A and B are shown apart, each in its own frame.
Chain A
Amino acid sequence: MGLFVLRRLGVMLLTAIALTFVVFYLTNLPPNLEKLARTEGSVRMTDEAVADWIVKNGHSGSVFLRYGQWLGVVPGWTYTDEKGQSRGRCFQIGEDAAAAPRFCGILQGNWGYSTFFKSPVAASLGEKLAATGWLMLAVMLVMVPTSLLLGVLSGMREGSATDRTLSTFSIATTATPEYVSGVILVALFATASTGISPLLASYGLIEPNKTLFLASATSAMDDITFWNFTLPVMTIALYGIGYIARMTRASMTEVMTQQYIRTARLKGVTFRNVVLKHALRNALIAPFTVIMLQFPWLLNGVVIVESLFNYKGFGWTLVQAASNNDIPLLLACSVVAVVVVLLTQLISDIGYVFLNPRIRLA
């Protein structure tokens, strides 16, 4: 077991390094650097000036070396211009080059300086991550119990009317990506002109020209309420609910046809206990993995929903960083994304082993 975790961690580390390198390479492509030079310097810079800027700011040289610097395993660059002023990765102009540390990559906790937000990456990203954390927590609280319940209910009697109704619902939600469900939910619940808000207003249940839910979640940054948080949470959760419910259903129907379920029935166990005591644990092994592997997709949902509802979390930051060529911020975002994905994969692997006695002790 210990060795397994160790090997798994080794592969994870390798994956993380490979992925971050790919991101580093793609964000530091020459056209991106030229664009950066022009935004940092001036738009009307000559090509020579751009090239000069790139050299002066440590963006020249081998991409492997630069990646190493960013990571913090290669000494940071230094540049001394003709005036004898020196600057480098680890110190600003005017600071003492000798006193500065030699290594200053993310391993040393130096995440860089966001060119778009004009603030250190670590600080702003931490705050954004916290906001997204609340969103994810709410999504999980809604999504996991609902989907498991739906899946088990429809899977325990395959082909029944309940099954068909719930399956149709699940298929419909898996066919609805977040940008579609978000738009539809807003149109239904958060516009003053269509959906149920005008109806409720006409009954006097809500104030006229107000909407039942809010179409923007910006206010949830400070104060999460039912009215500003429901739509973003539901938008992300809906897609996942359908997906996990379908997995649970498939797993449940398979388990229900197993011979040990027949054994239990022929022992005289009630249907309720057949489901709860005999089927459930076996049926939940597969969905557990799926829930964990949902994280990369949830991250997608977060990005879409945060842009759609203007909720300034991690996803929103990622979009801002990417569209504004903010290289350090985008790199930091990808590190976070990659780490989250890999951690969930690890948890899924280990959890699978613990849920399944056949593997645990074999």
Chain B
Amino acid sequence: MRNNSLKLGLFLLIIAGIAGLGIAYVNEITNPLIEQQLITNKLNSFQEVYVGAEKITDESEKYLDGDADSILTEVNVVYEKNTPAGVIYTVEPSGYNGKIQLLAGFDIATKQITAIKVLNLSETPGLGDNAKQSFFTERFKGKSAEKNLEIVKKEPVEGNQVLAITSATITSKAVANGVNAARQHFMDNFIK
């Protein structure tokens, strides 16, 4: 009996071993491709929110210490001729249905939002889901970083107001919250 269960265990071990080898082999082939893809994707999205960025360095460790807002997850600084020219934040505010991951770019010289881009979200299709569409993200472009952005339901009258997505106020507000957190950090750390 004992002998038998040992045999069975050994058999499973062998199967699992072969399976492991197989997975390791496929991983070997695909991993570099996947890594490469993630990096290109990231650089492409960075380019989208800060057009013409030459050199981008991840300085999250320097800026995101204990005091920073916890929805900020990454700080990437854009350098031009070795002086910081802009900042790209990755923020993860909570939306209607889980976290929304988005990028927000800021320009140091003009103190403006260069652009925002939604990377990941799981909002209601057809409603909050529209937050990733350019018609909504365009509304943040060129807004001043000096004032808190505010989501409104009717055509904005003030410079710091952003028109909400119809019937998706919660998602719109979540995006604005994320951008505001980044904006605050930007004003505190990069504008003297």
Partners in one complex: no
